[in-house]
Structure 1
Amino acid sequence: MAHWLLKSEPDAFGIEDLKARHDQAEPWDGVRNYQARNMMRDQMQIGDLGFFYHSNVKEPGIVGIIEVMSTGYPDPTAFDPANPYYDPKSDPANPRWYLVDVRYVRDLKRNISLNELKQYADDALSGFPLVRKGNRLSIMPVSDQQWEFILSLEAG
């Protein structure tokens, strides 16, 4: 099983929105970055776990855990002109953008903020893309050691 971090702006789709789906799978759509797309298309597997990260808020951080419920498949929002994620260059016969379905697992006991995570950038979280300056990827891998370390921070 692999581990991931998936970012979302809570104003657009937050952990409360996912929790409201009552254990149903929800498409993680609208990702328009090739590197993140490749991870969803080629690497994410059913049963992988991920951190749900709230971005673009006063205190960005990890707020919960989600589970990947599907392998990657074409993102239908790319083909819909009425959708904000529409991409006129994406062709259903040769899709450009992919997504995976995810489901809510649980909230963390507390928000583990980006500032807190950065304190460990030269130590336990060295090499973790989230704590690198200028990293804007919306999806990133989390090593087993990083996953366990971050979970150990949950108690405070």
Structure 2
Amino acid sequence: MTQYWLMKSEPDEVSVDDALAAPKSTVPWTGVRNYQARNFMRDQMRVGDGVLFYHSSCAEPGIVGIAQVASTPYPDPTQFDRKSPYYDPASRQEEPRWSLVDVQVVKKTRNLTLPELRTTPGLEDLVVLRKGNRLSITPVEPRHWRQITKLLGA
């Protein structure tokens, strides 16, 4: 059964345009350093799951593309790279702490902004809108996925 996710990326790190320009429009989702978000990728995501590509920490945060999970989970190489801001000295090659999946952008969309998401009837309980939620990866209910993709004409 297909699942749906909202995955946040800072456009200065990896934007939807960067992903579209990558081979096969696919990028590794590196740098996740929250256990719950890591567990979503490691334990629940499956190839083909739907992804709402969300730009965060920018002038106008919002959903900017439709994507899909394009790989099974594998160790995030940035945890071993001493030059990376995501380096984790406690992580070991033989026991990686952090995982990632590859994400393939299917379609760039208009920016469905956070204020628009907040004021759209039916999306009140979308996880990303919950007070205090700062997770970079959150599950999306199928009904929310349908409503959002309809709003985006996807």
TMscore range, shorter length: over 0.9
Question: Where does residue 112 of structure 2 map in the other structure?
Answer: 112
Displacement of 1:72: 1.1
**Secondary structure, aligned partner of 1:64:** strand
Gap regions ≥5 residues in structure 2: none
Pairing 1:1-156 to 2, within 5 Å after superposition: 1-108=2-109, 110-120=110-120, 123-154=121-152
Cα deviation code 1:17-40 (max 9, x no counterpart): 001014253210010000000000
Displacement of 1:129: 1.2
- TM-score, normalised via structure 1 length: 0.92
CA distance in 1, matches of 2:87, 2:79: 4
CA distance in 1, matches of 2:25, 2:60: 28
Moved over 4 A (4+): none
CA distance in 1, matches of 2:152, 2:26: 25
CA distance in 1, matches of 2:89, 2:16: 30
How many positions carry a matched residue from both structures?
152
CA distance in 2, matches of 1:74, 1:81: 16
CA distance in 1, matches of 2:31, 2:64: 21
Displacement of 1:124: 1.2
Gap regions ≥5 residues in structure 1: none
- Higher mean C-alpha deviation, range 37-46 or range 111-120: 111-120
The amino acid that maps onto 1:91 is R
Q: What value does the CA root-mean-square deviation take over the aligned residues? A: 1.3
CA distance in 1, matches of 2:12, 2:29: 15
Taking every aligned residue pair, what percent have the same amino acid on both sides?
Answer: 53
**Secondary structure, aligned partner of 1:23:** helix
CA distance in 1, matches of 2:23, 2:80: 28
> Contact 2:66–2:105 at 8 Å: present in 1 too?
yes
> Contact 2:118–2:124 at 8 Å: present in 1 too?
no
CA distance in 2, matches of 1:51, 1:118: 16
CA distance in 2, matches of 1:149, 1:76: 35
